[in-house]
Amino acid sequence: MTVIFLGATPPGQVGGLWESAAAAAFGLQAPSLTPMGVRGVPRRGPRLFALDLDDAENRAGCLHDRVAGALTRTEEGSFWPHVTLARVRKGARARPLTVSEVMPFDAFTAPALTLYRSVPSPGGPRYTPLESLALPA
């Protein structure tokens, strides 16, 4: 789950951003999340499919708010806890995705805040973890 997207941040700034993010997240409880189903965004002609996550105790929301504040990052709209499953290529059309079965997942805990480097590749982006901070349960 992406807490904050840093985009094309110059490599020389990453260390300072991580220090600020880790300091802001220190001591926060690990988010407990429950998969609610697959959601297409937007509903008509979806361009993205995601696993929608319920953040019942707002721990992920609190983590987002603290890290965003420390990094002075603002995003359009409110924070939405989710995991992106697929994106639709520009110009392509996708039908709404229906899941006929009950989600077979229980709640899970996100045990760490991790900074990843994303490198585009023909088969999709490759993610390399750079730093990580354990979050207490």
Q: Per-residue pLDDT for 98 more than 70?
A: no
Give per-residue pLDDT as tens, 59-82. 999 999 999 999 988 777 789 999
Q: What mean pLDDT comes out for the span 37-46?
A: 86
Quote the CATH superfamily of domain 11-134: Cyclic phosphodiesterase (3.90.1140.10)
> Cα dist. 97→63, 76, 80 in Å?
30, 25, 19
Are 129 and 118 in contact by the 8 Å Cβ rule? The answer is no
State pTM to two decimals. 0.86
Domain ranges of the chain: 11-134
Q: What mean pLDDT comes out for the span 113-133?
A: 91
